[in-house]
Every structure is written in C-alpha cells, then in structure tokens.
Amino acid sequence: MRCADIEFKLLELIEGGLPSDQRSEVLSHLDGCAVCTAECAAYRTLLTRVEIEPVPEPPPSFWDEFLPALKSRIRQEADRPKPTPVRWLTNVRSWFAFRPRLVAGLAVAAVSIFVIVRLPDVLPGGAGRRAAPVTIERVTGRNGGGDNMPAVSRLGNGSRHLDEPLMVAGEVVEEPAVLVAAIQRLGWADEIADRLEGAWIQRREADPTDSLNSLDEKERQFLLNHMNQLTWSES
C-alpha cells in the first residue's frame, strides 16, 4: 500500500470503520512508515482540538431570558388571528404537502415567467419608462375595476402598460432587489430566492403552504392561476 492511497483510510481507521482486512493492511503500513504514522497522529490531534473547541459562554442573563423570550413569541403567535381555512386552500395544502421539490421548482418557474414577462421595464435600459407606484387596490382590482386577474396571461404578448406597476405579493416592484425581497415575503417560496441566487437548500421542516395564509384571496388566486398554466414534470 502506498502512502498516497492511505489518507482516506487513516480517517476510517480513526473512525473505527475499516473492515478488518483493510485495517490490518493499514496498520501494517503504519508500522513501517513514519510519515503516515505522524499523519495519523496529526489527524487524531486535530479531531481532539475540534472536539474541545469551546463555545463562548453567553452572559449570565442569557439563559434566564431564553425561555421567557421564547414563550412570549409563542404567545404572540397564538394571539395572532388565524385566517379561516377555505376548502380550495385545504386541497392545495394536501397537494403541496407531498411535493415540496415540485413546489419549489414550480414556484421558480412561475416567478421566472413573471420576471421574463414583466421585469424588462424595471431592468436597466427600461429605467426611463419606470412606472409610478400605485395602491394595491388599483392593481389587484379590489375596488371593482372589473379585472380580478392582473395576471401574466393578460400580458401574454410580453408587453405591459407603462403606467402599470409590477406587483408581487402586494408590493410594488421598482427594483429587481425589491422583487427578491417580495419573493422572500412569500415564506414558502424562500427556495425561489435561493435559486435566483444560485443556491439550492431544501427546507424539509418548512411547510411550504403555511405562508399562503399571509396572502389574500386574490393574491393566492393570482399565483395559483399562473401555476395551473405551467407545464412541468417530476424530473
């Protein structure tokens, strides 16, 4: 056995995970090789140092305040009025519950389309045509504007009115950075922001539908309409 072949095996030896035949082989090599023996000792020293590296002790009041602060947050959360679940939302929830990866992919696709179709006017080059912010009511048509769906489908030709602001989750998007912030506001779509930044973290503990509750009826419908128009596959 050569020294170059042994590095990974040294760690497995320290871990106690080497099969007996390989263990004998490595130990035999170590008997005759001072360099690898020193390397093995260095790994052991390193792991000991990592293990005993202390975590700085927080100030004395830290632990006294930890549980009360946590309980205060729990109380605040319990006092917050919960939106009444509606039937369609329950169905959506059960559908999403088993497809977290699909939800993330779908959401990325939805926002990507949204960005492609609607963002050009807010990207550099379109600055001169930037729209003035208006109220949410005007955009979402809550005041009886007659169009309840300010959706991409309405803008299917890739254009949009110059005086129409870009809205995501109830926020006027004037800068791409604001779009990212708006996306992050959609808690279940945190993955979108991660993907846009080139990172992929799968949040196993998060219920991706929880923050659907933070959207109002029209905003939810708005997102779902887009999702329903998408073609996607599990791959």
Where along the sequence are the contacts to another protein (CB under 8 A)?
Answer: 7-8, 11, 38-39, 41-43, 45-47, 49-51, 53, 55-56, 58, 62-63, 66-67, 69-71, 73-74, 77, 190, 194, 197, 199, 201-206
List own/partner pairs for 153-157 with CB under 8 A and 24 or more apart. Answer: 153/225, 153/229, 155/117, 155/118
Please, what is the minimum distance in Å from the beta carbon of residue 45 to another protein? 5
**Which residue lies nearer to another protein by CB, 37 or 225?**
37
Please, what is the minimum distance in Å from the beta carbon of residue 223 to another protein? 22
**Which residue lies nearer to another protein by CB, 72 or 159?**
72
Helix (H) or strand (E) holding 167: strand 166-168
Q: Which two tokens stand for residue 53?
A: 């590296």
The residue among 75, 45, 176, 33 whose CA lies nearest residue 116 is 176
**Which residue lies nearer to another protein by CB, 70 or 123?**
70
Please, what is the minimum distance in Å from the beta carbon of residue 107 to another protein? 16
φ/ψ of 171, rounded to 5, equals -120, 140
φ/ψ of 51, rounded to 5, equals -65, -40
The residue among 122, 120, 186, 117 whose CA lies nearest residue 155 is 117
Please, what is the minimum distance in Å from the beta carbon of residue 154 to another protein? 33
**Which residue lies nearer to another protein by CB, 90 or 159?**
90
**Which residue lies nearer to another protein by CB, 43 or 217?**
43
Please, what is the minimum distance in Å from the beta carbon of residue 196 to another protein? 12
Please, what is the minimum distance in Å from the beta carbon of residue 37 to another protein? 10
Question: Residue 13, Cβ neighbours under 10 Å: how many?
Answer: 18
Q: Which two tokens stand for residue 41?
A: 């000792």
**Which residue lies nearer to another protein by CB, 150 or 208?**
208
Whole-number Å distance between alpha carbons of 17 and 1: 18
